[in-house]
Amino acid sequence: MMLSLSVRLRVLLIFAGLAAGSVGIVGAALMLAARQNGPLLFAFVVAAFGLVGLCTLVWWLFDLNVAKPVEKLATELRIRAHTGAQHAIDPTVARYLGDLAPAADAVSKALGATALSTAEAVAAETRRLEAERARLTALLTEIPVATLLVSADDRIVLYDGQAAEILAQVAPPRLGSAMTDYFEPTELEAMRGKVAKTGQPAEVRLRARGGAQDFAAQAKPMEGGGYLLVIDDAETRLSPNAARPIVYDFDLTAVNAGQTISDRPLSSLAYCVFDTETTGLLPHRDEVVQIGAVRVLNGRLVPGERFETLVDPGRPIPEGATRVHGISDRMVDGAPGIHAASRDFHRFASGAVIVAHNAPFDMAFLRRHAASAGVTWDHPILDTVLLSAVLFGTTEQHTLDSLAARLGVPVPEQRRHTAMGDAEVTAEVLLRLLPMLEARGLRTFGALIDETRRHGRLIEDLNESSRSRGS
């Protein structure tokens, strides 16, 4: 009966009921006081309690049938607007809001169809650009040099496959990382001074960090203050037929001078998204058996920048744990221990915000071995559980599976409960959450951390605990 009425008529009936109920309560209170020859104060108390109860009932009905459905509908529209997910809006969610839910569904579908046609045009242009990139890669394959493009603040903007091999001798190659992570700072400073002074290409020699090897190179100044570094691989013993993919992001040429991480926009940060598989669920006594991680930069997964390793836990892996993640004692035989694996992962995560789903769990394993591994986990940290709570409220489910389903992220069954598979899913979730957070006005890392701390009762804030340890 109520569902057939218009929203305005339903609201009118609710307030008419509130008015009638109020009059009835006051009348009943006066009649009760008159029958018992009681004072008017008695009537006032009865009426007051009755009105408070009536208003509470009306508030509860509004919260249940208006406020919560409106919040749910707004969340669904934000998901569609910022993630492209096209699952239908459940009409029963806002069944007492008349045609609002079907109308919102129709509008978002129409906009989605327009966006799809635009995306198809963009995809066609992207395919053309990818073909050009493939031709450029093939051309570079014939040139016996390794190429690095470096920004004005000495961060890597582009590297090819040969350069990646050179960088990997010191640390994992990473877009946006500082050149001083790979080469001796004094020699880099001398090279930059030489190039800046002449404004012309300069022949230089650079030593790898730690002095393991040095390279003959040519540094060519670029507009904006950066430079192109070409390393002759004749003396680097690189495989001539190795794949030569080009990894780049020209947005990294922008310099964030003087900005602390709290002031940095979320879109400008590098993220290292990781997951672990373990022998059990007790970080104080169980051990890691696998680490997987990917890097996210400027709103995309960086191709090729991945970290994956099995880890020898130094003890038998329980059969129950093997049934979950599929990793057996035989598979970890000969794998690095947690100390070596921690150091390698620490180098991969250098300069990035660490992201995990339920980060306190995964970080507890790494931090337990930090001192003996000789590393300090002082990275800024984001937890996708907390990000989900900020956007969807604490009453929603925040498991990785439910979050992925809500945001339209596919979860390949064969990759679930593998460290790399879960890291990839978490990264895709992060990429959908970031624009939604920015649309909520949480545009900087500092603003986001302040907001997540409101949900500290839900899960530990690792940025706060890191700050406490450092103070």
Q: What's residue 135's pLDDT?
A: 58
What own/partner pairs with CB < 8 Å and gap ≥ 24 does 191-197 have?
191/219, 192/154, 192/219, 192/227, 194/219, 195/219, 195/220, 195/221, 195/227, 196/221
- Between 376 and 127, name the one with better pLDDT: 376
Residue 361 has pLDDT above 50, yes or no: yes
Distance (Å, whole) CA 252 – CA 299: 12
Please give the biggest Cα pair distance in the chain.
110
Are the C-beta atoms of residues 329 and 317 closer than 8 Å to each other? yes
- Between 99 and 30, name the one with better pLDDT: 30
Residue 108 CA to chain centroid, in angstroms? 25
Residue 437 has pLDDT above 90, yes or no: yes
Q: What's residue 281's pLDDT?
A: 94
pLDDT digits (tens, 9 = 90+) for 54-64: 878 877 887 77
Lookup: tokens for 244: 């030569």
Architecture category of domain 143-251 in CATH:
2-Layer Sandwich (3.30)
Residue 19 has pLDDT above 60, yes or no: yes
| Dihedral over alpha carbons 298, 301, 305, 307 (to 10 degrees) | 120
Nearest to 229 by CA among 161, 323, 163, 309: 163
Tell the residue number behind the tokens 């104060």, with chain if given: 41
Put the strands of the sheet holding 288-297 in their side by side order: 300-310, 288-297, 270-278, 353-356, 381-383
pLDDT digits (tens, 9 = 90+) for 127-182: 766 666 565 555 455 455 788 999 988 999 999 888 888 898 889 999 999 999 99
Rounded to an integer, the average pLDDT of 449-453 is: 89
How far lies 342's CA from each of 167, 272, 288, 339, in Å? 19, 14, 10, 5
Q: What's residue 458's pLDDT?
A: 60
Q: What's residue 241's pLDDT?
A: 52
Work out whether strand 214-221 and strand 288-297 pair parallel, antiparallel, or are unpaired: unpaired
Q: What's residue 178's pLDDT?
A: 93
Q: What is the pTM of this model?
A: 0.76
Distance (Å, whole) CA 136 – CA 248: 13
Residue 240 three-state SS: coil
Rounded to an integer, the average pLDDT of 446-469 is: 70
Write out the DSSP string of 257-276: TT--GGGSBGGG-EEEEEEE
Q: What is the CATH number of domain 261-470?
A: 3.30.420.10
Q: What's residue 467's pLDDT?
A: 45
Residue 398 has pLDDT above 50, yes or no: yes
Domain positions in the chain are 2-110, 143-251, 261-470
Mean pLDDT of the chain: 82
- Between 302 and 453, name the one with better pLDDT: 302
Q: What's residue 471's pLDDT?
A: 31
Q: What's residue 454's pLDDT?
A: 80
The model's confidence at residue 469, banded by pLDDT at 50, 70 and 90, is very low
Rounded to an integer, the average pLDDT of 385-393 is: 90
Q: What's residue 119's pLDDT?
A: 55
Lowest mean per-residue pLDDT among 61-65, 78-82, 99-103, 416-420: 99-103
